[in-house]
Amino acid sequence: MKQSPPRSTKILLTIAAVVTLAVPVIADLNHTHMLNPLWPPHARLHGAAFLLVNIASGAISLFLLWGSYAERGSRLAVRVAALLPAMGWGALLGALPFPGISSYPDGMTDRPPINGNLVVAGVMVVLCVLGVVLDGRARRTS
């Protein structure tokens, strides 16, 4: 009998997928990021590429969770649905130790004490990990 992930896993991973798909579009296509005149063209290239990776990751994750295909609900499908958003948000956190990196937008003079980029990234990684943990527990108990 094929087992589906628990509802809690699907909810957590769906939130992570939708945030991965939508938030970078909203947050990065503006004057603080991709349209920022301080950004050189090569930086915009990397920004656009990462934006497209985020959109694809969120969309593929949603398909893995909700699409119609033979292996839907499999352990592998759930793991990949969690891995895609976690990689993008985790890369944002993993980039912090590199020299010259700032998690605040260029030209931002008033920097809040809590960085929204890092909070969202951390929460998304936690949602993905928690979704996989809940799925694993459900599969072990049934």
Indicate whether 19 belongs to any domain.
Answer: yes
State how many domains the chain has. Answer: 1
For 14-34, the pLDDT digits (tens) are 999 999 999 999 999 988 889
Contact at 8 Å (CB) between 19 and 85?
yes
Contact at 8 Å (CB) between 84 and 57?
yes
Average pLDDT over residues 62-88: 97
Instruction: Give the DSSP per-residue string, 84-139.
Output: HHHHHHHHHHHTTTSTT--SSPTT--S--SS-HHHHHHHHHHHHHHHHHHHHHHHH
pTM of the model: 0.92
Indicate whether 104 belongs to any domain.
Answer: no
Which among 82, 59, 60 has a CA at the least distance from the CA of 5? 82
Q: Which domain holds residue 68?
A: 7-96+115-141
